[in-house]
Structure 1
Amino acid sequence: MSVDLPWTRIASLAIRPVLFSGNQEGSLGGPTLQIPRLGDRFAADIETAQLQQNAEGRLLIATLTEATTGDAKIAIRQPNLPRLSIAGAPVIDGAGQAGASLNIRGAQPGAALFRGQYVGLIHGGVSYLYMLSGNVIVRADGKATLSLWPMLRFLSVDGETVDVTPSIEGQLVGFDKGAKWVRNRVDPLSFSIVERV
C-alpha cells in the first residue's frame, strides 16, 4: 500500500519521462527508426527546503521512512490551469481500450482539458499518471476522447476513475540515507518517486 506524502516544505517537483522506447540507428547511413514500446512512464524528482524539527517536519520524515518498504504517492499540483472545471465524476467509457487515446464519460459538458495537463487513471487501486497530448472539450453528453502520453499500460476497465487532480505513485528512490539532523533543523532532502508500471 502506498504512503501519501504531504507537501510540507516541498521546494520543487519535476516530472520526467522514464522511457523504454528508443531509436534503432540505420546501418550504413540508413534511416533511424523509432521503436515505440509499452511501459514508458513517469518519475517525479522532489526536493525539500530545509525542514524544522516540528510536527510538519517529523510527519514528512515519518511518511518517507514508511514509504521505503512500500510505495510513495504525492499529489501533482498544476498551477495556472484555466478554471473551467471538469467537475462531475469522469470514468473510463468502455473496456479493452489500448493505445494512446481513451474514451471517458461522466465529465462536465463544455469542460476543457489542455495539452500538457496531467490526469490519473486509477486501475486496480493504483494511480497511473498520464499527460494529455491534445486539447479536448467535453461534449454535451459528458463524453470525450483523451489523447494520452505515454500509451496506456493496461487494457481499460469500464467505469474506472479518471482523476483530473492526479498523483504520482510508485517506488521511493533516494531516501536510503535518511534525514540528516543538524541542531534544530533537518538538511534539505532530495528523492524521487518512480512509477512501477
Structure 2
Amino acid sequence: MLTPQPIVGVSESPFTGDAQVYVHQGQLWQAEVELPPIVGTARAGPWKAFLTKLNGRAGTFLMGDPDARVPRGSAANEPGLPQVQGDGQLGSDLLIDGLPASVSGYLLAGDYVQLGSGPDARLHLVQDDVDSDPAGQATLSLWPRVRRSPPDNDTVVVAQTQGVFRMTSNATGWESNEAMVYGFSFTARSVP
C-alpha cells in the first residue's frame, strides 16, 4: 500500500481556534508491504537475501504501485515518447513534449510517471488529466513535487513506473512456521 506523506505543520491557538499552516517542501511516499505467504525455503531464500542485503536503512531499492503498472489514459496505446521540455524545472508542474498531437486523456488523474532511472528514479502521481496540444506538448501536475530538476529531453516513463525507496527501520525480519510457510512484511519510504 502506498500512502502520500506530505510534511505540513499546523499551529492552532487553544483560545481562538485560529490556525497557521505551513507547507514544507517534503512530500514522500510511505509504503507498507505484506507479501502473500511463501511456502518453502527455496522460495523464501531470495526474500531473506533481499532484506538482509539492504542492511537496514543503508540500502535502497526500486518499487512502484503494483496496481498501476500501466496508465489508464491513452498513453498505454499511443505512440510517442514523452520527454522533459526544458531544464531547471522544480515544483508541482512539469512541462513535457514528444506526445502525440492533440490527444485528450493521454494520462489520467491517478496515473503515475517516473522521472530519472536507477538510483535517481522518482515516482510521481499525476494529479490532473493530461491533454496534449497540437505541438504534442503538455503540463503534468505532479505529487510529490519535483525536487531534483530533470534534464531537458529526459524520458518521462509512463508504464512500469518506479521510485527509489529505503526501509523505515533497521530491524527487518520474517516469520515462519513448522510447515515452512514464511511471512514477510516491511515498511519503506521514498527517497526525496
* Paired position in structure 2 for 1:11: none
* Paired position in structure 2 for 1:161: 155
Matched, 1:104 2:96: yes
SS in 2 for 1:193: strand
* Paired position in structure 2 for 1:84: 74
* Among 124, 128, 131, the residue aligned to 1:130: 124
Instruction: List alignment gaps of at least 5 residues for structure 1.
Output: 1-13
SS in 2 for 1:60: helix
Letter in 2 for 1:129: L
Instruction: List alignment gaps of at least 5 residues for structure 2.
Output: none
CA offsets per residue over residues 49-105 of structure 1, 9 Å max, x none?
111126443223322222234112223231785362254322211111122100011
* Among 71, 74, 81, the residue aligned to 2:60: 71
Change over 3 Å in CA distance of 1:56–1:90 after alignment to 2? farther
Superposed, 1:10-49 pairs within 5 Å as 14-26=1-13, 28-29=15-16, 31-49=18-36
CA offsets per residue over residues 97-120 of structure 1, 9 Å max, x none?
122100011233425211122222
CA offsets per residue over residues 127-170 of structure 1, 9 Å max, x none?
11211111111233222100112222123421223221211322
Change over 3 Å in CA distance of 1:31–1:141 after alignment to 2? same
Q: What's the % identity of the aligned pairs?
A: 25
Alpha-carbon separation, structure 2, partners of 1:89 and 1:64 = 35
| TM-score, normalised with respect to structure 1 | 0.78
Query: RMSD of the TM alignment (CA)?
Result: 2.6
Letter in 2 for 1:141: A
SS in 1 for 2:48: helix
SS in 2 for 1:49: coil
Shifted more, 101-110 versus 42-51: the winner is: 101-110
CA offsets per residue over residues 163-182 of structure 1, 9 Å max, x none?
21211322123572422332
